[in-house]
Structure 1
Amino acid sequence: MTIFLVKPHWLRPSVAACIAFVVGLPGCAVGPDYAKPASDLAAFHNHVTASTEQAVAVAPQIDTWWTGFDDPMLVTVVQRALAQNLDLAAAFARVQQARAVAAWAGAELLPTIDFNASTTAQYQSLTSPAGSITKTFPGYSRDQREYTVGPAASWEIDLAGGLRRGAAAARGEAEAAQAEQMGTRITVAADVADAYLQIRGFQTRLAVAQDQVDTDAQLLKLIEVRRRVGAADEREVAQAQALLKQASSTLPTLRTALEAQLNRLDVLMGAQPGTYARELDIAGVIPGIPRINNTTQPLDVLRRRPDVIAAERRLAASNERIGAALSDYYPKISLSGALGFDSGDTSHLFTAGAFQAIGSGALRWRLFDFGKVDAEVKQARGANAEALALYRQAVLKAAEDVENSLMTLSQTDARRQELQGEVTALIRARDLSERSYKSGAINLTDVLDADRQLLSARDDLDSARADVARAAVSVFRALGGGWSEGQRVVTESSVASERAGSGVSSF
């Protein structure tokens, strides 16, 4: 059943009727029931077109996508980071805090029971109003003692459902915090994989650059020999020396970038930079990318993306706060009582004569404060509208991330294929140039030019190969991969069951 509330005035008879209705239905709660907004997204228009030449044959499980790269060291560093990363530890602590707040809000629905014991000692004034009267009694003593002991209980009856709405809002915030923890897990796994792939890319590029330095050094020796026999001049020697220096100058830049990624990886694993660097001293190959499912639909992504889940849970929490604000239009009733013993001396404390029971009830109604309640309700509705906009924005951002990552992967792999063809052609051209130079058919300038082109192309190719693997990581990140369905997943059905279990319904 639903009551449509208008701006109340305490003199209106309708308010009294509403109050009587609320008292008659203690299991109800004012405010709108939450309904998850529909997200009608069209199918993704970009698809993975990475070549089968680099892709691994078996598609991995999306919750452990890093195993699909078929690289044991990558699996090791990701698992280590998920166990030791400090951002993830902080996210878990935030979840614990949010759960504690939710537990506190849920406890507000239950009676509060305390056990109290006290003792009072007083030396009575003879000139006080009480002392001037009691001093005339026979056997009066100015030394007075009082001992009390026993339990006391209090309970606010949640007539309008404000406490239940507040507890539901706190649960929503706790679920949002848990979703954000899963988001942190995804980010950590993706960042670790990205750093690792960059490390392998820089190591490969360093190896290529070192090969080029060795080749140019051999070329310089050859030219010096030719100069000694009169087949080459000083200009050719200088050109060969310049080419060697050019190749050597790329090494410091690559080593600096490699060190930065090694340090980044250590920090992601919750360790001081340099802790695990030796494990990666031996250069490894850039792994091939896993196969990625092209049939993934937007609904699958929205169910897995933690940022979307968190935004939806905060939207649900803001909806519950509307009901909590509306409940202040209605009176609040609380009951309290105490059972115990009260005596002036300890010898008679636990006797039938010292036993006492106290019960009381209280009514609190913001009868003359409806203007503030109006403002609080409007604020709650405004916060709900903001949360709805943020949820819709999260949905669109998720779709944008997927589209961009799919396009980046496809186009980066297309560039890699073109660079592979360029390198193949340049290797053949360089070999032919060296043969022609040795036979005297061309001059050294042509050989040096072919060598420079090959060095640049090989460096671009290795960089592109690492970029393709990194783009695959971005796809898995965008799809929401990196956490298991076995971990607690916030679903609409689970929220509905929680609400049913708490007895919350709406007017």
Structure 2
Amino acid sequence: MTHLPLSKTLRLAPLALSLFLTGCAVGPDYQQPYQQPMVTMAESYLYADLSKEEKSMNDLDHQKQGIGQAGERWWYQFGDTTLNTMIEDVQHQNIPLKMAAERIKMANSYKSVVASFKVPTVNVGAGYVNYQLSQNDSLLGPALNPIGDSAPMLPPELGSATLLDNQHDGGFVGASIAWELDLFGRIDHQTNAAQIRVEQAQIYQSGLTTLLTADVIHNYLQYLGAQERMQLLEANIADQEETTELVKKVVRSGYGSDLDLAQAQAMMAATRSLMPQLEIAQQVHKQRLATLLGESLTQIDIRLAKSDRLPTIKGVVPVGLPSDLLTRRPDIQMAEREVAAINEDVAVAVANRYPKFFLTGAPGVSASSFDDLFSSDSFGWVGSAGISWNVFDGGRGEAMVELNEARLNNAVMGYQHAVDSAMTEVDSLLFAYGRSQENEQSIAQAVASSNLALKKARSLYNAGLIDYLSVLDAQRQQRAMEDRQLAARLQAAQVTVGVYKSLGGDWQTQ
């Protein structure tokens, strides 16, 4: 039989040990849920083709590419520099986002703590000691007292000698080393679980960024929508005041009735009652922007002073494929990582039922004189190897495994529920997206018709065929249709924001 040289045997020993330790790892292997047959998804969204604009552009291939680059800073399609600046600032100034960043730091620190158990722990110490033993001690006392009188059977030449001195002093320098051999992968699985928690903290920050960015866009659009509606309302009130004055003149001339005047005044009062509601809406959305940005209302007023009209988003929403949601939506990513983390907890519970192996050592030097402290004769050490195995715990270990397996099954079902909810949300918003576009187009046609009616009314008035009240009534209807068109534009913009939010993706500006 051929024997390997000792040097080669020593070099192969670490490799053999590592293979042995790897082979002893216990616990279930993890497979991402969306790679398993239990997660089924449709090949396309139910209402992905409802958008008239998308149909007219015939850009299905672009949709199937996923939101990709279009999902990054998609709000630039509004073409509003104030909005772009506010989003960049909120992602740097928002307090909850700063708190989320600290959560990532905490998770990383915790992972480092857990991973540190994989390597030996070394403590170094040094010091000076001085102590005195009791001469009345039942164990050492006889050795500290003179032995001449207490032991007459001893040779007289020993005189009054003592076996031990009762006072001692000296210095020491040493270290203690402890290492648990992770034979069954318990610490590895704990480290993996801690790393997954870091990833969850990052996903949480990404999801919070999406929510806060969408909140900024929502409140900014609502503020501008209320502002523009107030401008239309002021013009409508001016028209109705002019109408009311004309009705008063007609009544005074005897050609009108008090009923006409009462109706005109009631309509004007009802229109004026809308103004406080729009002012409240403006203030609420402005306050919300101040909270999101962490700024005062004065600073928000300065920002908003640069915008006076509701922006319109350009382009289409490239919805991509339903399978893209699995890697783009933060809630789905969080649910998947929860499955992975609990899977590691199951492995830890299994490994806890196996023995634990320890290596400890304490080398050091000790001497009564500092001059002799570092001599070869002052060196000493203690080494030990041990095993700890909880062979009976009343079924606690098995129960912990079953507990974590139940948590794992619950997490897998939670993941499936998150996928189903995401699909439902996207389909619902795509339906609303298509209908909002149709509504916007219908309102645009109505506005065009009301503009034509106003133009004809003015022509008839100039020809003397109708009175000015008819012109003012046509103008009031035209203002009302413009207000409905603005509301439709605002609704379409909000639905678009909802679609992008439901599709997920990276919303960070940097």
Normalized against structure 2, the TM-score is what?
A: 0.82
Task: Number of aligned residue pairs: give it.
Answer: 464
Deviation at 1:150, TM superposition (A): 2.1
Letter in 1 for 2:236: Q
What is the SS of the residue equivalent to 1:171?
Answer: helix
Deviation at 1:41, TM superposition (A): 0.6
What is the SS of the residue equivalent to 1:333?
Answer: strand
Q: Which has the larger radius of gyration?
A: 2
Kept in 2: contact 1:263–1:274 (CA 8 A):
no
Deviation at 1:181, TM superposition (A): 1.3
Deviation at 1:81, TM superposition (A): 0.8
Match of 1:191 in 2: 215
Deviation at 1:50, TM superposition (A): 3.9
Query: Which stretch shifts more, 424-433 or 398-407?
Result: 424-433
* Superposition pairs of residues 300-339 of structure 1, within 5 angstroms: 300-339=324-363
Letter in 1 for 2:346: I
Kept in 1: contact 2:346–2:401 (CA 8 A):
yes
1:109 maps to 2:104: no
Match of 1:166 in 2: 190
Kept in 2: contact 1:47–1:294 (CA 8 A):
no
Aligned mates of 2:169, 2:207 — CA distance in 1: 62
Aligned mates of 1:251, 1:387 — CA distance in 2: 50
Aligned mates of 1:361, 1:153 — CA distance in 2: 12
What is the SS of the residue equivalent to 1:25?
Answer: helix
Match of 2:137 in 1: 128
Q: 1:367 to 1:288 in 2, by over 3 A?
A: same
Match of 1:79 in 2: 88
* Superposition pairs of residues 59-70 of structure 1, within 5 angstroms: 61-70=70-79
Q: 1:470 to 1:268 in 2, by over 3 A?
A: same
Aligned mates of 1:436, 1:23 — CA distance in 2: 97
Q: 1:469 to 1:257 in 2, by over 3 A?
A: same
Aligned mates of 2:300, 2:373 — CA distance in 1: 69
Letter in 1 for 2:390: R
What is the SS of the residue equivalent to 2:413?
Answer: helix
Match of 2:488 in 1: 464
Gaps of 5+ in 2: 1-16, 147-160
Normalized against structure 1, the TM-score is what?
A: 0.82
Kept in 2: contact 1:264–1:273 (CA 8 A):
no
Match of 1:34 in 2: 30
Aligned mates of 1:159, 1:283 — CA distance in 2: 65
1:152 maps to 2:176: yes
Aligned mates of 1:262, 1:329 — CA distance in 2: 59
Aligned mates of 1:133, 1:408 — CA distance in 2: 98
Aligned mates of 1:443, 1:61 — CA distance in 2: 52
Deviation at 1:399, TM superposition (A): 1.2
Deviation at 1:441, TM superposition (A): 5.0
* Superposition pairs of residues 196-211 of structure 1, within 5 angstroms: 196-211=220-235
Match of 2:45 in 1: 44
What is the SS of the residue equivalent to 1:153?
Answer: strand
Q: 1:340 to 1:380 in 2, by over 3 A?
A: same
Kept in 2: contact 1:48–1:409 (CA 8 A):
no
The match for 1:96 among 79, 82, 105 is: 105
What is the SS of the residue equivalent to 1:126?
Answer: coil
Aligned mates of 1:311, 1:198 — CA distance in 2: 32
* Superposition pairs of residues 412-431 of structure 1, within 5 angstroms: 412-429=436-453
Aligned mates of 1:295, 1:242 — CA distance in 2: 48
Gaps of 5+ in 1: 1-21, 488-507
Kept in 1: contact 2:121–2:179 (CA 8 A):
yes
What is the SS of the residue equivalent to 1:276?
Answer: helix
Aligned mates of 1:133, 1:308 — CA distance in 2: 77
Q: 1:285 to 1:91 in 2, by over 3 A?
A: same
What is the SS of the residue equivalent to 1:218?
Answer: helix
Kept in 1: contact 2:239–2:475 (CA 8 A):
no
Query: Which stretch shifts more, 256-265 or 23-32?
Result: 23-32
Kept in 2: contact 1:433–1:442 (CA 8 A):
no
Kept in 1: contact 2:332–2:419 (CA 8 A):
yes
Aligned mates of 2:415, 2:137 — CA distance in 1: 68
Aligned mates of 2:49, 2:478 — CA distance in 1: 30
Aligned mates of 1:117, 1:82 — CA distance in 2: 51
Query: Which stretch shifts more, 421-430 or 431-440?
Result: 431-440
What is the SS of the residue equivalent to 2:488?
Answer: helix
Deviation at 1:364, TM superposition (A): 0.3
Match of 1:402 in 2: 426
1:303-327 CA distance string (max 9 Å, x none): 1112211211121111122211111
What is the SS of the residue equivalent to 2:362?
Answer: strand
CA RMSD of aligned residues (A): 3.3
Kept in 2: contact 1:65–1:482 (CA 8 A):
no
What is the SS of the residue equivalent to 1:336?
Answer: strand
Aligned mates of 2:300, 2:19 — CA distance in 1: 67
* Superposition pairs of residues 376-387 of structure 1, within 5 angstroms: 376-387=400-411
Aligned mates of 2:423, 2:459 — CA distance in 1: 54
Query: Which stretch shifts more, 260-269 or 411-420?
Result: 411-420
* Superposition pairs of residues 177-256 of structure 1, within 5 angstroms: 177-224=201-248, 226=250, 232=256, 236-256=260-280
Identity rate, percent: 28
Aligned mates of 1:387, 1:431 — CA distance in 2: 65
Letter in 2 for 1:124: L
Letter in 1 for 2:28: P
Aligned mates of 1:375, 1:146 — CA distance in 2: 53
The match for 2:416 among 381, 385, 392 is: 392
Deviation at 1:354, TM superposition (A): 2.3
